[in-house]
Amino acid sequence: MDFPILSTLIFLPLVSSLFIFLSRGQNYNSAIYISLFSSLATFILSLFIWYSMDYASADFQFLEEQSWINDFIKFKLGIDGISILFIVLTTLITPICIISCINSVKDRVKEFLIAIMILETFMIGVFCSLDLVVFYLFFEAGLIPMFLIIGVWGGPKRVYSAFKFFLFTLLGSVLMLVAIIAIYWITGTTDVTQIYEIKIPKEYQNLLWLAFFSSFAVKTPMWPVHTWLPDAHVEAPTAGSVILAAILLKMAGYGFLRFSLPMFPLASEFFTPLIFTLSIIAIIYTSLVALMQEDMKKLIAYSSVAHMGYVTLGIFTFTKQGVEGSVFQMISHGLISAALFLCVGVVYDRLNSRMISTYGGLVNYLPKYSFLFIVFALAGLGLPGTSGFLGEFLVLTGSFQKNYLVAMLATFGVILGAAYMLWLTKRVIFGVTKNDQIKNLKDVNKSEMIMLGILALLVIFFGFYPIPLMETINVSVDNLINNYEIAVQTEGLN
């Protein structure tokens, strides 16, 4: 591939942010059109890449290499079946966020759009990079726009949340930076594909794995370092919550798949009990916490922690079902949690409250909204026929092959998930309308309908017909697990 298509994909939003910066006009129409247009162009470009890539090959495709830092670190990009899905998810969610901010962001719209577009660049970069330093660069750079999005456009406790988000993530990541530099001195390269082949010696693996884990655990987030997430979600503006839940959290899961598993197979095997324990605690404990929430956004945030628990559980089963289920779960959670946060955003724009007690009986006055909300709530609890079901089902199938106890405990989480989601629906959508303001509310408008409608269609479509996703990741996941098993068998003997 001669044309640097991945670089184009990465830097298109960045270039467009420059145009947004230069745009003029009273009501920011031109800025919104530019960002919408360019994010849609990015989306179409990513679809084109998805369409034109070869699923049958487990190799990295659309490779790009450029000498970068002193000839020893290369700016290397490339994608495989797993990363393309996250890229498409990113480019899909970004235009939806831009549509959502038409209704919800009133102040400094231009700056907001610039932040979103720059963030998109960094997010796509994370999923494309095949070099540890490039990955770290994009992974960390995303903190800056997100910090500003939470801090400038967030709710009343925004400063605390923004600081907590930034410092937690930074603290986790600096250890990963030490590990990346150490890997460079151990193997002589930071090129991921070369490290796969060189194989890091056994004695280093555990420490390096822990250093990467410290970063990914904060980002996932896993219990007990998940506490930044509810705060960040609650205070962030709607679009910020959507990006946070749909994409930023997936970076860590992707990181486990791309780095921890193939680079440190022995350590991954060694630390599996740790991951299982933390995942189970995340699934059960945070589901219980979610039950008690008064704030809708906080409830969804805790449910995200629980859902990400399934993801980490699935990845570390090292079975085909488990890993595929995790990837599927990440994509589907990306769609569902985005949609749920948008749903909260819709009513928040109207009544300025996220408290569950403010609402109740919405179904009588906002029928369309209620229908969509119920669809997403059911998808969130994993109802068969929605995409939420398949991910959890595959993860549980995978974990049953590994460990009965863990799988059983995880299954409890499904029941708890149904409990908090249904109870939320009951309190918000059904019941008696106590609040008089609700009677005057308008139902979803056109732009809200577009973004929620698209997400609803996708959630149901992938629930019934997951084959496009599965086909894309199939060979890459097979390859991942094969390499892992070979590594564990050969090196385990020594």
| Chain residues in the site for other proteins (CB under 8 A) | 67-71, 111, 133, 136-138, 140-141, 143-144, 147-148, 151-152, 158-159, 162-163, 166-167, 170-171, 174-175, 177-178, 181-182, 184-185
Residues in contact with 85: Cβ distance below 8 Å, sequence separation at least 6, in sequence order:
327, 331, 469, 472, 473
Q: Is 489 exposed, middle or buried (0-12, 13-18, 19+ CB in 10 A)?
A: exposed
CB of 211 to other proteins, least distance (A): 9
Cβ proximity to other proteins: between 151 and 413 the closer is 151
Q: Cβ closer to other proteins: 43 or 136?
A: 136
Query: CB of 71: closest distance to other proteins in angstroms?
Result: 7
Q: How far is CA 19 from the centre of its chain?
A: 27
Q: Please report how close the Cβ of residue 25 comes to other proteins at its closest, in angstroms.
A: 16
**162 or 473: whose CB is closer to other proteins?**
162
Helices and strands, counts by H and E, the chain: 21, 2
Beta carbon of residue 295, minimum distance to other proteins (angstroms, whole number)? 21
CB of 210 or CB of 450, closer to other proteins: 210
Query: Least CB distance from residue 164 to other proteins, whole Å?
Result: 11
What tokens were used for 112?
């907001």
Which residue, 166 or 420, has its beta carbon nearer to other proteins? Answer: 166
Closest separation between CB of residue 286 and other proteins, Å?
25
Q: For residues 281 and 272, what is the distance between their CA atoms, to the nearest angstrom?
A: 14
**Lookup: tokens for 282:** 């995340």
Residue 10: count other Cβ atoms within 10 Å of its Cβ. 25
Measured from the CB of residue 234, what is the shortest distance to other proteins in angstroms? 16
Nearer CB in complex with other proteins: 26/494: 26
Q: Encode 99-113: b = buried (16+ Cβ within 10 Å), e = exposed.
A: bbbbbbbeeebbbbb
Residue 373 has a CB neighbour count (10 Å cut-off) of: 25
Between 162 and 289, whose beta carbon lies closer to other proteins? Answer: 162
- The minimum distance between CB 14 and other proteins, in angstroms, equals 11
Work out whether strand 73-79 and strand 61-69 pair parallel, antiparallel, or are unpaired: antiparallel
Distances (CA, A) of 310 to 303, 313, 316: 11, 5, 10
Query: In terms of CB distance, is 145 or 322 closer to other proteins?
Result: 145
Report phi then psi at 73, rounded to 5. Answer: -120, 130
SS3 assignment, position 68: strand
